[in-house]
Structure 1
Amino acid sequence: MSIPFALCLVTGSILALVVLIARLRLNPFITLFAVSIILALIAGMPADKVVGSFEAGAGHVLGHVGTVIALGTMLGKMLTESGGADRIALTVSGIAGRGRVDWAMMVIGLLVGLPVFFEIGFVLLIPIAFVLAERTKTPLLQVALPMGAALSVTHALIPPHPATLLALSAYHANIGQTIFWGIIIGTPVAIIAGPVFGRFAAKHVPLTEHNPLAAQFIRATPPENLPSFAATVATILLPVVLMFVGSSADSIAKPHSSLNQALHFFGNTDIALAVATVLSFYVLGLARGFSRETILRFTNECLAPTALIMLLVGAGGGFGRELIDSGVSKAITDAALGIHMPLLLLGWLLAVIVRVACGSSTVSMATASSIMGPILAQAHGVSPELMVLVTGAGSVALGPMNDAGFWQIKEYLGLTVPQTLKTWSVLETLIAVFGLLFALLASVFI
């Protein structure tokens, strides 16, 4: 497949999605499905494999994200109904002040995001963002975008996040130095893409869509007897701690031992979230006076608004898989490798291209680092630690529509497609660009 043809296919597909969903107001799921199928056929995929490719991509994404969204939504509902989200919101606003809640959410996002994937950190913290915005009368975007920026920065730039560990291995980088430079570079990047851009976006992108999820997570008045701050925070942080311990299992216990396997099991994202959700049924439910019937009603009714989110997340995965199986992503990646440029810039560009081609930032970082690893091994004078950071920065670029996070942000925040492009896609691009610029600046001193 020729490079110009591949570029035209990607560009045309994205433009078609924007026009059909935003302008013609067609159903987003059907539009994603139709555009994905048409793209694959035009690219020359055999007709009998087109639908299977879409199903494989959608199933792969939903197999992980669907469970995370369901469990996270139940946990969020218990936080809301028990008043736990109000307790955290009141405590955070009391410490940070109403005028700095966006900075507080950025710090919380940086801490929570270290051991967990973006989707998990998001579903854990979004109920707090809803309640904090409502109680402090702060625009939702001003609170939610800094949180999202922090989660994305930790995902891309700061070990021991699972995504950066992939690049660390491929580049044979020193983890201590990578953490040091990740914090030095990631902190100003999070500030620029978070509170700074969040305040700008909140002023220029008014929310116009009805948001059923916001109504679900916000009570008209907080309960009179709120749960303790310690119990609420412990419930939220439990999956974070379990995942962190699970990722460190090989350092804690002998590999393949019973303890090692148990730590890996409970550190699994789905298991960790399930444990925290079940715990919330007692700590924020039964112990607060709710009956089993009431808790069952909470968990059943909160899942209805997430149905469209799951469908769109799956369709985004299907769209990304069609780009890969049709050969479009390979053609664009090969073109990038043919460009002669500094390795830091090439590693970043390759990650950006894979990001656009497949959607997943984790896949982008893994693919780009596996390609660039052997090239870096033959080069001299290039810091492996900075290669990790530029690859991570490029892996979150653009916030494309074949990324599950795009649709997650759109639906949770009640945005239109153009509004999501103006906010989330720009935010992700700011992280990518400033991450590259600061890494190039740091290369002068390493």
Structure 2
Amino acid sequence: MIHSLLIVLLGILVLLFLIIKKINPMIALLAVSIITGLLLGMPAMKVMSSVSNGIGSTLGGMVMVLALGAMMGKLIEDSGAARKIVYVLIGVFGKRHIQWAVLLTGLMVGIPLFYNAGFVVLIPLVFAIASATKLPTLYIGIPMAAALSVTHGFVPPHPGPVALASIFHADIGKILIYGVCLSIPIAIIAGIVFPRIIMRGKLSSIGNDFVIAADEELPSAAKSFFTALLPVLLIIAGTALGPLNLAQPWKDIVFFFSDPTAALLIAVLVTVLLQDRSIAKCMDSCVEGVKSIAMIVMIIAAGGAFKQILVDSSVGETVKSLTQTLNLSPLLLAWIIAGALRVTLGSATVAALTASGMVLPLIGPGVPAELMVLSVGAGSLMFSHVNDTGFWMFKEYFNLTLKQTFATWTIMETIVSVLGLFGVLGLSLIVQ
């Protein structure tokens, strides 16, 4: 039993080595999947069958969600709706509460946009706000990063939660509702409270005399908010109405809206119709959006292959049997495994997918699949450091030293992860 876990550990170390050597994570994951399967004693034909099944099962339930989500995000970005949302919120909150405006913007923009895309879209506005208000860029930037981080870890249609939902056969609508409940308080603590503590004494007196004028060419506020939130509203509405004893055809309509693929497809079509640009330009945005996530999808597919190797080789059952004697919650154990992989591998998505195959057998009575998704998602955000691209993106954009990046970004990510664990354990007492 221990022998198989040592082989998995060796595979993870090889994966770490390949990533450190700048090998593409998709190639590294595929290679490690095959090597690990062979070392675990699986026949070569079974190894390749598991790889194919893992890729198919992982992408089958989520590829359209990822593609449509990317299209939605790019449409919102190119139309100027994301910037309009920022301007409106800043105008409402004013300079004194500027952090709250940035935080709320990050949460709203972060739902349809992937982390890297959301960061790139919002970072120029962070610098513009900091320059106009004479406030430190980190005071404005950390709320933005925290908001994008929590949506990345807890809220579909981001790749991590969607992939885990597919693997664990969890209800995406419930994950969305639970994830939003976790994201708001965690983002406030990590994005508002934390920077105020570390920057105490460095802030000049903050008045309330700052207003950004919106560009006249941007879409209206109503249109911007409506299009950005439409897929989320459809999924939440469908999920909330699902348990009601509705007659046909209303029951089918509610089920249709609760499906993330249907909700995102409707949102994309509505967004295209509401835009002032030509349909051809909108379709160009959709194509660019899908191109931007092509490698993410491939990495997720390769992660699914590694997951399937761990499942088919019964490594997950080994973990389950070894932990039965431990007085630990399966949710806590999943968080620990995902956190250890995050620290080792760097990528939150790769860590979550790698952990999924090991913790899948832990799901059962008293351990809802939706909470397992959030627990693994929280663990996958733990202690980001030099092997994470997000670490370097934050460092370079804000022109920080390594020490400063550890003291800001790394601690912020760790706060999100630890609070996410506590939130999941709290939810487990409510939903069971």
**TM-score, structure 1 normalization:** 0.65
> Secondary structure, in 3 states, of the residue corresponding to 1:370?
coil
How far 1:46 moved relative to its partner? Answer: 2.0
Amino acid at match of 2:331: W
Q: For residues 16-415 of structure 1, what are the structure 2 equivalents within 5 Å?
A: 16-22=14-20, 24-97=21-94, 103-104=100-101, 106-107=103-104, 121=111, 123=113, 129-137=119-127, 138=137, 143-149=144-150, 152=153, 189-195=186-192, 224-254=216-246, 257-284=248-275, 288=276, 290-339=277-326, 341=327, 345-352=328-335, 359=353, 368-370=362-364, 372=366, 394-399=375-380
Structure 2 CA distance for partners of 1:189 and 1:392, relative to 1, 3 Å: farther
User: Which residue identity does 1:30 align to in structure 2?
Assistant: I
Q: Is the 8 A contact 1:246 1:267 kept in 2?
A: yes
Following the alignment from structure 1 to structure 2, what is the Cα–Cα distance between the partners of residues 269 and 321?
24
Alignment check: 8 A CA contact 1:146 1:198 kept: no
CA distance in 1, matches of 2:365, 2:84: 47
Report the CA distance shift for 1:18/1:243 in structure 2 as closer, same or farther (over 3 A). Answer: same
Decide whether aligned partners of structure 1 residues 281 and 28 sit closer, same or farther in structure 2, where only a CA change above 3 A counts: same
Amino acid at match of 1:143: M
| Aligned counterparts, 1:433-444, within 5 A | 433-435=418-420
> 8 Å contact 2:194–2:412 — kept in the other structure?
yes
Deviation at 1:95, TM superposition (A): 3.2
Alpha-carbon distance change, 263 to 21 in structure 1, aligned in 2, over 3 angstroms: same
Q: Distance in 2 between matches of 1:407 and 1:358?
A: 14
| Per-residue deviation, 1:261 | 1.1
Instruction: State the Cα distance separating 1:413 from its structure 2 match.
Output: 8.6
Q: Output the aligned Cα RMSD.
A: 4.8
Structure-2 change in CA distance of 1:31 and 1:99 (3 Å) = farther
Give deviations 1:46-84, integer Å, cap 9, x for gaps.
211112212222222222332222212222222222211
- Structure 1 residues 227-236 or 138-147, which shifts more? 138-147
Instruction: Identify if the C-alpha distance between structure 1 residues 189 and 358 changes in structure 2 by more than 3 Å, giving closer, same or farther.
Output: closer
Distance, in Å, in 2 between the alignment partners of 1:235 and 1:442 is: 30
Distance 1:19 1:152 in 2: 25
Separation (CA, whole Å) in 2 of partners of 1:389 and 1:54: 25
Q: Give 2:307's aligned amino acid.
A: G
Deviation, 1:241, is 1.7
SS of match in other structure, 2:242: helix
The answer on whether the counterparts of 1:32 and 1:315 sit within 8 Å (CA) in structure 2 is: yes
CA distance in 1, matches of 2:301, 2:395: 19
Query: How far 1:39 moved relative to its partner?
Result: 0.8
Q: How many residues align?
A: 366
2:152 and 2:119 mapped to 1: Cα distance? 13
Deviations 1:210-230 (A, max 9, x none): xxxxxxxxxxxx964111111
